[in-house]
């Protein structure tokens, strides 16, 4: 048994004996300052923080001040949970320290990174082993699923930390599934307050969105204090974590008075990048709220969006294509409904129409039609595969994903209580690509954000009940 900064490690000549020996340990843990943290307290704190002024992320026209002069105001609040990454292959790393250097074999998304971000796998291995980065060799293996989790380097630090204590011996560090789910860097929990003011025709003329969420960048760049970086650009512009408000500040709808604000919530739970990052929060709340506004205006959800996308031709093009190919407006079998969402992220534009049914409270997604514009397409099959994978990933989270805490610990531990989408739950997915000469955008992440709101809006079409919390299974 060896001590490392994150705990203790058992070294054996094979994985199973090491796991059995670890289970036999009797460890007394210091519960720490957050021993009493639980999900109810976290949600209460987020709602409390919603009364704070926060920091301005975007303001057009008179912002929220214009709400009071509108003919009708609509308000909604949304809550989204922490999410684990649920990689099929748990965290692992092989390392050997010898001859004044380190050699690492790791499924990493962060082989090298700027010093500001810890130097990535190479920098962390060098720091832990006490050698210069020039003496570190990193072999990047297949990931077995990454989704942003393997941009972190905690498992690399552990492997190198053990290897340093047994120099010359290759150490293969393997996490169990329980380790993986209970020691993740989670997709941040968030609370959202949205208000819109409609004119006499039912169109929105004022929009307010407040995002209350932990800051990924505050953890990723230790010591970040908003006041210190108010003059900076990039991820910390104006003291606002751009990863928390992305997908909200780029609102494509033609609304003259717009205000987006961010309240940083320091809750003590480690958070990190999760496939499409803040777009997963904000696409859900924005597109669900737009559907509510369409209902308030007495308009069809697709037609309502089209009327507001006059200055967003690429959004409008994918919306039109998805609606056409999905047969929007055509009759459906009894008990089924359609929902739509459109969102842009990572330089690409995506619209999805979901066809669902709800039986005994269980949501079943039968079909998803996805229209996508990523600019110049180099390999259509790769684009389609990424979109299908993103839809499966996002759908599993929307239907089932939720990390909860009790007594300062993560409650979930395996795929039994943190389930992922099963093969028999996967809907038929149709992808349609827009021909474009624009610069290529991303394809790995933009398929994720629209699926949750498309399904939630379809649930409303079937049941008449609005979804303002995820997962749908709760």
Q: What pLDDT score was predicted for residue 226?
A: 55
pLDDT band at 218 (very low <50, low <70, confident <90, very high): confident
pLDDT of residue 114 exceeding 80, the answer is no
pLDDT at 327: 98
Residue 227 has pLDDT above 60, yes or no: no
Confidence band, pLDDT 50/70/90 cuts, at residue 219: confident
Q: How far apart are the first and last CA of the chain?
A: 41
Mean pLDDT of 273-279: 96
Neighbours of 411 (CB within 10 A): 16
pLDDT tens digits, 189-215? 999 999 999 999 999 999 999 999 999
Residue 328's contacts (CB-CB under 8 Å, 6 or more residues apart) are 302, 338, 340, 353
Q: How far is CA 43 from CA 194, 328, 366, 469, in A?
A: 17, 37, 32, 12
Strands 171-174, 2-4: pairing is: unpaired
Question: Which tens digits make up the pLDDT trace of 3-37?
Answer: 899 889 999 999 999 999 999 999 888 889 999 99
Residue 111's pLDDT band (cuts 50, 70, 90) = confident
The residue whose two tokens read 């972190």 is 152
Please check whether the domain covering 41-83+186-463 is classified as CATH 3.30.365.10. yes
Report angle CA 361, 395, 455 to the nearest 5 degrees: 55
Mean pLDDT of 226-246: 67
What average pLDDT does this structure show over 322-348? 97
pLDDT digits (tens, 9 = 90+) for 67-96: 999 999 999 999 999 999 999 999 999 999
Give start-end residues of each CATH 3.30.365.10 domain in the chain.
41-83+186-463, 91-174
Enclosing H/E stretch for 140: strand 136-140
Scanning the structure block, which residue is given the tokens 């704070």? Answer: 52
CATH number of 91-174: 3.30.365.10
Answer whether the bond into residue 471 is a cis peptide, omega within 30°: yes
CB 260 within 8 A of CB 230: no
Q: Is the alpha carbon torsion for 312, 317, 323, 329 positive or negative?
A: positive
Nearest residue to 398 (alpha-carbon basis) of 342, 340, 448: 448
CB 461 within 8 A of CB 363: no
Predicted pLDDT at 231: 43
Compute and round to an integer the Cα radius of gyration of the chain. 23
Q: What is the mean pLDDT of residues 376-395?
A: 97
pLDDT of residue 239: 72
pLDDT number for residue 245: 96
Give the mean pLDDT of the chain: 94
Q: Is the dihedral of CA 117, 121, 123, 128 positive or negative?
A: positive
Q: Mind listing the pLDDT tens digit for each residue in 135-161?
A: 999 999 999 999 999 999 999 999 999
Instruction: Give percent of the chain with pLDDT exceeding 70.
Output: 95
CB 340, CB 454: distance < 8 Å: yes
**Residue 412: partners with Cβ closer than 8 Å, 6 or more residues away:** 84, 181, 182, 402, 403, 404, 418
Model pLDDT, residue 232: 47
What is the Cα–Cα distance from 189 to 196, expressed in whole angstroms? 23
Is the model more confident about 227 or about 287? 287
Separation CA 259–CA 426 (nearest Å):
38
- pLDDT higher than 90, residue 116: no
| pLDDT at position 185 over 90 | yes
pLDDT one-digit tens code per residue, 413-429: 999 999 999 999 999 99
pLDDT attached to residue 348: 98
Whole-number Å distance between alpha carbons of 252 and 312: 6
């Amino acid at each position: 048994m060896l001590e490392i900064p994150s705990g203790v490690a058992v070294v054996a000549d094979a994985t199973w004996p090491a796991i059995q020996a670890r289970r036999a340990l009797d460890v007394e843990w210091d519960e720490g300052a957050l021993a009493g943290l639980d999900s109810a307290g976290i949600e209460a704190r987020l709602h409390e923080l919603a009364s704070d002024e926060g920091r301005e992320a975007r303001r057009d026209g008179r912002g929220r001040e214009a709400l009071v002069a509108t003919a009708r105001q609509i308000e909604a609040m949304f809550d989204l949970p922490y999410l684990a990454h649920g990689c099929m292959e748990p965290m692992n790393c092989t390392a050997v320290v010898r001859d004044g250097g380190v050699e690492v074999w790791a499924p990493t998304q962060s082989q090298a990174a700027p010093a500001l971000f810890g130097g990535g796998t190479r920098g962390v291995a060098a720091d832990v082993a006490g050698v210069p980065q020039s003496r570190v060799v990193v072999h990047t293996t297949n990931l077995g699923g990454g989704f942003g989790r393997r941009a972190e380097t905690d498992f690399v630090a552990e492997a190198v930390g053990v290897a340093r204590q047994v120099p010359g011996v290759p150490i293969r560090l393997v996490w169990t599934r329980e380790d993986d789910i209970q020691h993740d860097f989670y997709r941040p929990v968030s609370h959202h307050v949205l208000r819109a003011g409609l004119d006499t025709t039912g169109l929105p003329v004022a929009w307010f969105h407040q995002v209350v969420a932990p800051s990924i960048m505050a953890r990723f760049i230790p010591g970040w204090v908003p006041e210190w970086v108010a003059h900076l650009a990039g991820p910390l512009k104006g003291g606002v974590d751009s990863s928390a408000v992305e997908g909200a500040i780029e609102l494509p709808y033609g609304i003259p008075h717009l205000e987006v604000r961010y309240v940083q919530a320091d809750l003590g739970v480690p958070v990190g990048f999760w496939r499409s990052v803040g777009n997963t929060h904000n696409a859900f709340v924005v597109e669900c709220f737009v559907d509510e506004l369409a209902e308030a205006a007495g308009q069809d959800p697709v037609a309502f969006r089209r009327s507001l996308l006059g200055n967003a031709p690429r959004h409008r093009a994918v919306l039109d294509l998805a609606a056409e190919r999905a047969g929007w407006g055509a009759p459906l079998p009894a008990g089924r409904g359609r929902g739509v969402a459109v969102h842009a992220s990572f330089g690409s534009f995506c619209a999805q129409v979901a066809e669902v049914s709800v039986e005994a409270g269980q949501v079943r997604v039968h079909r998803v039609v996805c229209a996508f514009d990523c600019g110049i397409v180099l390999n259509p099959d790769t684009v389609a595969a990424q979109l299908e994978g993103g839809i499966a990933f996002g759908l599993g989270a929307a239907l089932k994903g939720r990390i909860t805490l009790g007594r300062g610990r993560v409650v979930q531990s395996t795929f039994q209580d943190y389930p992922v989408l099963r093969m028999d739950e996967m809907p038929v997915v149709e992808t349609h690509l827009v021909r474009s000469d624009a610069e290529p955008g991303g394809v790995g992440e933009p398929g994720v954000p629209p699926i949750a709101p498309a399904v939630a809006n379809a649930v409303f079409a079937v049941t008449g009940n609005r979804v303002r919390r995820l997962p749908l299974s709760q």
